[in-house]
């Protein structure tokens, strides 16, 4: 018999978006049935040890219902600003996706509202979902929707995705480039940070410009977190964090989740699925060097990116764990990286 895989609580996936967009297409799938494509469903989660994570609710600039081929990073239409009305409607549908999953099988999946609830769900073998908004377009300037979303389970929010909104600006998908690509937070963005602090909603710094990062660092009273970003010193993508940013995160007792996307891990930024897992380990080494063993975790970006073929999907997580072992990481460190650090940082943030 195979030994049980190391549990993983992961910082980022786009599974809710996939499930929403694929309705009514040939790729329509159920979260409860194993598919031969995409990255996360419950049967494959079980195989890989995936015990839960932050489930992103992201509103694309352009809705294409023909599946993953739709996203082309070279097409500016994919980065166009969106209206609050559209974003709000679509975000409600994504909340609905998560709620229907949890309601259909309360013994298998839970929407968790605190670190204690994550521990409890994991302890009883239920998949633990933390709801996250990626890009705050669904929220208006007066922030009224934030409290409603919090009531519906929202516990994490990235003020911007890689596009401009009323709160700030995000980094483009260029390579190589500095993350200092545009302005920081607007006045509304600063209010959003304060309101997230008040409601105990984690602020996610992945996708934000470097100026925006420093604005949040100055204002926020919570540990700084980038849920799915890597080390700029290893792979100079603007989606990655400079050593100065990593040091600032470390100072607050914050955390960075390792993104598996090959374009954010390779030194050359190439979109190659044959990228070896050692490339991910190189980022992990660098991140641990700057943030310490308690400040790094996983932020796979499953269902939203090109993962190395060696991992393939969520069932392949034990391959990454093997690569960590091969690199000399002990079991205690592996457990921290794979799940303990995420729960601890949420707890430190009062969640
Ligand atoms: Zn993202």
- 174 CA to centre of ligand 1 in angstroms: 14
Sign of the alpha-carbon torsion through 93, 94, 95, 100: positive
Instruction: Quote the percentage of the chain above a pLDDT of 70.
Output: 98
Q: For the chain, give the secondary structure using H, E and C.
A: CCCCCCCEEEEEECHHHHHHHCCCCCCCCCCCCCCCCCCCCHHHHHHHCEEEEEEEEECCCCCCCCCHHHCCCCCHHHHCCCCHHHHHHHHHHHHHHHHHHHHHCCCCEEECCCHHHHHHHHHCCCEEEEEEEECCCCCCCCCHHHHHHHHCCEEEEECCCCCCECCECECCCCCCCCCCCCCCCCHHHHHHHHHHHHHCCEEECCCECHHHHHHHHHHCCCCCEECCCCECCCCCCCCCECHHHHHHHHHCCCEEEECCCHHHHCCCCCCCCCCCHHHHHHHHHHHHHHHCCCCEEECCCECCCCCCCCCCCHHHHHHHHHHHHHCCCCHHHHHHHHHHHHHHHHHHCCC
Kindly tell me if the per-residue pLDDT of 2 is higher than 80. Answer: no
pLDDT in tens, 57-106: 999 998 876 555 557 788 888 899 999 999 999 999 999 999 999 999 99
Does the structure show a pLDDT above 90 at 132?
A: yes
Distance 256 CA to ligand 1 centre (A): 13
Mean pLDDT of 28-41: 97
Expressed in angstroms and rounded, the spacing between residue 227 Cα and the centre of ligand 1 is 9
Task: State residue 40's pLDDT score.
Answer: 98
Tell me, in angstroms, the distance from the centre of ligand 1 to residue 54's CA. Answer: 12
Q: Which pLDDT belongs to residue 260?
A: 98
| Predicted local distance difference test score (pLDDT) of residue 337 | 98
- Cα 229 to averaged position of ligand 1 atoms, centre (Å): 8
pLDDT in tens, 229-245: 999 999 999 999 999 99
Cα 171 from Cα 138, distance rounded (Å): 19
Find the mean pLDDT for residues 283-310: 97
pLDDT attached to residue 74: 80
Q: How remote is the CA of residue 207 from the centroid of ligand 1, in Å? A: 7
- The CA 300 to ligand 1 mean position distance, Å, reads 10
Ligand 1 center to residue 1 CA distance, Å?
A: 37
Return the higher-pLDDT residue of 206 and 63.
206
Q: Ligand 1: distance of its center to the CA of 215 in Å? A: 20
- Residue 111: CB atoms within 10 Å: 23
Q: What distance in angstroms lies between residue 2's CA and the mean position of ligand 1's atoms? A: 33
Q: What integer best gives the mean pLDDT of the chain?
A: 96
From ligand 1's centre to the CA of 46, what distance in Å? 24
In the reported structure, the alpha carbon of residue 35 is separated from the centroid of ligand 1 by a whole-number distance in angstroms of: 23
**Distance between Cα 221 and ligand 1 center (Å):** 23
From the CA of 162, how far away is ligand 1's center (Å)?
8
Residue 134 Cα to ligand 1 midpoint, Å, equals: 7
pLDDT mean over 194-198:
98
C-alpha 319 – ligand 1 centre gap (Å): 23
pLDDT at res. 319: 98
Tell me what the mean pLDDT of segment 312-318 comes to: 98
Q: What pLDDT, on the 0 to 100 scale, is given for residue 163?
A: 96
How far does residue 13's CA lie from ligand 1's centre (Å)? 8
Q: Which residue's structure tokens are 């709000």?
A: 88
Q: What is the mean pLDDT of residues 105-110?
A: 98
Which of 75-79, 98-102, 123-127, 177-181 is predicted least confidently?
75-79
% of the chain surpassing 90 pLDDT: 93
Distance 3 CA to ligand 1 centre (A): 32
pTM more than 0.95: yes
- Give CA separation, 229 vs 14, 36, 262, in Å: 15, 27, 12
Query: Residue 250 pLDDT > 60, yes or no?
Result: yes
Distance 216 CA to ligand 1 centre (A): 18
CA–CA dist 349, 14 (Å, integer): 23
Categorize the per-residue pLDDT at 328 as very low, low, confident or very high, splitting at 50, 70 and 90: very high
Give the separation between CA 143 and CA 119, rounded to whole angstroms. Answer: 30
pLDDT of residue 108: 98
C-alpha–C-alpha distance, residues 238 and 230, integer Å: 10
Query: What's the confidence (pLDDT) of residue 76?
Result: 87
């Amino acid at each position: 018999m195979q030994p049980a895989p190391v549990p993983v609580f992961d910082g980022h996936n786009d599974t809710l978006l996939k499930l929403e967009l694929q309705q009514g297409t040939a790729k329509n799938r159920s979260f409860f049935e194993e598919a031969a494509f995409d990255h996360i469903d419950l049967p494959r989660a079980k195989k890989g040890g995936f015990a839960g994570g932050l489930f992103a609710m992201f509103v694309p600039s352009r809705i294409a219902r023909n599946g993953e081929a739709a996203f082309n990073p070279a097409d500016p239409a994919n980065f166009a600003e969106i209206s609050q009305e559209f974003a709000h409607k679509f975000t409600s549908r994504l909340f609905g996706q998560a709620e229907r999953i949890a309601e259909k099988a309360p013994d298998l999946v839970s929407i968790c509202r605190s670190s204690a609830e994550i521990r409890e769900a994991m302890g009883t073998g239920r998949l633990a979902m933390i709801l996250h908004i990626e890009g705050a377009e669904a929220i208006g300037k007066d922030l009224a929707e934030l409290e409603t979303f919090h009531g519906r389970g929202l516990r994490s929010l990235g003020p911007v995705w890689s596009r401009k909104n009323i709160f700030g600006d995000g980094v483009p998908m260029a390579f190589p480039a500095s993350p200092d690509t545009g302005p920081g937070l607007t006045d509304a963005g600063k209010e959003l940070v304060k309101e997230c602090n008040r409601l105990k909603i984690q602020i996610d710094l992945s996708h934000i410009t470097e100026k925006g990062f420093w604005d949040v660092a100055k204002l926020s009273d919570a540990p700084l977190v980038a849920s799915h970003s890597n080390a700029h010193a290893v792979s100079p993508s603007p989606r990655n964090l400079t050593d100065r940013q990593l040091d600032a995160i470390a100072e607050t007792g914050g955390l960075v989740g390792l993104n598996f996307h090959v374009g954010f891990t390779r030194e050359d930024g190439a979109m190659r699925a044959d990228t070896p897992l050692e490339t991910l380990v190189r980022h992990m080494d660098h991140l641990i060097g700057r943030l310490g063993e308690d400040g790094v975790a996983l932020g796979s970006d499953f269902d939203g990116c090109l993962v190395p073929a060696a991992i393939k999907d969520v069932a392949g997580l034990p391959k990454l764990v093997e690569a960590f072992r091969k690199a000399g990481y002990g079991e205690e460190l592996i457990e921290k990286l794979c799940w303990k650090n995420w729960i601890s940082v949420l707890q430190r943030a009062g969640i």
